[in-house]
Structure 1
């Protein structure tokens, strides 16, 4: 019993990132050593993602209400700056993907018999879906994890609860605090969840499906790496006037790593909120900006949409001029904001971008099929970029405000 306690203390003393890495190694090892007899391990991944997805909607709902009812009149907020950063970052990511696709054009071996019926056909369809999600039934929004609807209704409730009795406000705040403690408990089980998720991924694809599509996969990952390691740090440096890389790497390590395995921006919301708390950010700010980012801050999705659309154009021999490339960047950015925060959400918006070049829906759906072939790695990296950028932009917006107020910003100690 004493030995078990020592092992447990040693395990907890390693730090979460190290424990996640150990879980990753165990998942890979078991997937290759005993893929059949150890398949039950996948349940850890299912339970972990399921728990995060279950708590995230109700967490966001109460945190947003709590943030609004506690907001004092005249108190400054950075939400405008954060939204601008989200939109700018998504557009620049799309632009990087367009430039990358021109520098390293890739053609595809299109698959056949791909049948997808739910992809939007035009930008009006994307905007209509966003607006309908905005006014979705609040109970249904919570049940389905519709964060646009959750943000809308929780904001309304919060605004009108500002006039409520102090006792009522205290109850809302206490519920939000209890939910945060639940989230922290779930996050402690991340290593086991990662072990199950990586085992499941290797069991499903094995990696053989990636070889025949290596070129487009390299292009996608190269563009995403450029955004994460060059574009985002430049934006961060402009905002905080300090070396941004310690903060960038912290976001990638603690948010991106988990998002890589969950493959869901929505499921990673609790992880991001926990990281924001560790970074010393204001809860009334990140409780709104993080779920909002999981909905509209989609740099990875913008890269995916642009790269696949231009690869389809190159495959068909379509010449894309400069003006069309800029339009594609804007279209991909807007479309990415409408991508759902679930695995594979951006792939269904590829036909919309392809329509800009007159590519038929049948061909576009075959391109989507290619996306699903490499989807395990592509979508994991895409989500890691999306989710880690949510925390990065939220933090630099607040740090920028601190700098204007003359407060010290010690990014190197983050």
Structure 2
């Protein structure tokens, strides 16, 4: 058994995850009833990540800000600029794709007991209120905007604290980081349970009736991941962007695909940034921030589902109005919660731009939840992997200006 465990530990985490993925698919297809208990592995894995992530973010941000030395430059502004640009371009890609491949829907029964936001102002208001949320409540509810803001404020307040206090905070941060590493080591088992649950519960057949919609949604996300994002990266670092793009998709996108939560994937992105040798002062803030405002996949989902509703109802839309939709989708996406299905609930808000009544819009939301098994997984994989990608891009762009070489071994 020890030899087996030693050989298993020598395999890279990505290969371990792929093995877990294959095992989950095989068990779901062959013996779904007998293997049902393995679902608990997925629940435990996601639950552990979601539990530890808020504490990790709080201590990382507080430690990074308190230890920050005056004159040391971070890349937060550049990263935020890349987040906003990527989200807008994703919405634009979705508009073009929806015009090229118009989709109509067979409307389903609306989702009950769910109240979508009434407008962009309401989304932004909720976002601002989250900033000043009770810090204990923010930690309890995994409100990352609140955690981020209080971590920043406490970090600033502790800048003049004794070195012993700062060392203690750093030690707590390192300890929580180690706990996260232990949790991530169980990713293969967790993903085996998650993929088994998805296939055994929903089946593949439930998605076949919405094949065209899924093709447009996933096609847009793949295009953003493999064409738009590499172009953005190349413009900034002036090197072949694909090694970095593929590493982020492989190391971050795969786990995010199965956990379906940008928030739960924050520890994975933190570890990836550390592997890439990035500035901790930057990524300890930019990664949790990205889990809230870097939502390219959400912009695609909001835009495609809204224009599908427009096509279904026979509403004529000109290109300028569709461009306004892409901007609205980008703004709405920034207010999307970092949990599964968060973007779908913003479709009624975007649909109101075309005068679509809430009753119809909620039926579109119902369709969104049907295809959500694949849509939300792809969306989260794109969102979360791009958090690490753009953080690394901003850092590498800075290195290029300083004449510092990028370590190709770390990027490969």
TM-score (norm 1): 0.98
Equivalent pair of 1:94/1:299 in contact (CA under 8 Å): yes
Q: Where in structure 2 are there 5+ consecutive unaligned residues? A: none
CA distance in 1, matches of 2:30, 2:370: 24
Task: Classify 1:30/1:308 alpha carbon distance in 2 versus 1 (closer, same or farther; 3 Å).
Answer: same
Among 341, 344, 368, the residue aligned to 2:365? 368
Aligned-partner Cα distance in 2 for 1:116–1:354: 19
What's the offset of the Cα at 1:204?
1.4
Give the conservation status (yes or no) of the 8 Å contact 2:110–2:362.
no
Q: Which residue of 2 aligns with 1:175?
A: 172
Instruction: Report 1:241-252 matches (<5 A).
Output: 241-252=238-249
Partner of 2:111: 114
Q: Paired residue for 2:298? A: 301
Q: Are 1:63 and 1:287, in contact at CA under 8 Å, matched by a contact in 2?
A: yes
Alignment deviations for residues 174-201 of structure 1 (CA, whole Å, 9 cap, x no partner): 0000111111111111000000000110
Identify the match of residue 191 of structure 1 among 188, 192, 209.
Answer: 188
RMSD value, Cα? 0.8
Equivalent position SS for 2:73? coil
Q: How many residues align?
A: 411
After TM superposition, the structure 1 = structure 2 runs for residues 115-154 of structure 1, keeping only pairs within 5 Å, are 115-154=112-151
Tell me, yes or no, if the aligned pair for 1:58 and 1:142 is still in contact at 8 Å. yes
Give the equivalent residue in structure 2 for 1:406.
Answer: 403
Contact 1:67 1:287 (8 Å CA) reproduced: yes
CA–CA separation in structure 1 for the residues paired with 2:331 and 2:33: 43
Q: Does 1:28 pair with 2:19?
A: no
Partner of 2:7: 10
SS at match of 2:277: coil
Task: Check whether the contact 1:246–1:412 (CA below 8 A) recurs between aligned residues.
Answer: no
Q: Give, in angstroms, the shift of residue 116 of structure 1.
A: 4.6
Of the candidates 377, 380, 389, which is equivalent to residue 380 of structure 1? Answer: 377
> Retained in 2: the 8 A contact 1:107–1:312?
yes
Partner of 1:323: 320
Equivalent runs, 1:4-403 vs 2, <5 Å: 4-403=1-400
- For the 8 Å contact 1:290–1:390, the answer to whether it is kept is yes
Alpha-carbon deviation of 1:112? 2.1
Displacement, 1:324?
0.7
Deviation beyond 4 Å, 4+ runs, structure 1: none
Structure 1, unpaired ranges of 5+: none
Contact kept in structure 2, 1:251 and 1:392, CA below 8 Å:
yes
- Give 1:115 shift: 2.1
Q: Residues of 2 paired with 1:345 and 1:113: CA distance? A: 16
Whether the 8 Å CA contact 1:242–1:411 is kept in 2: the answer is no
Deviations 1:19-56 (A, max 9, x none): 00110111111111211121110000000000000000
Deviations 1:221-246 (A, max 9, x none): 00001100000000000000000000
For 1:237-261, what per-residue CA distance to the aligned partner results, in whole angstroms no more than 9, with x for missing partners?
0000000000000000010000000
Query: For residues 303 and 157 of structure 1, what CA distance do their matches in structure 2 show?
Result: 36
The answer to whether the 8 Å contact 2:110/2:359 transfers is no
TM-score normalised to structure 2 length: 0.99
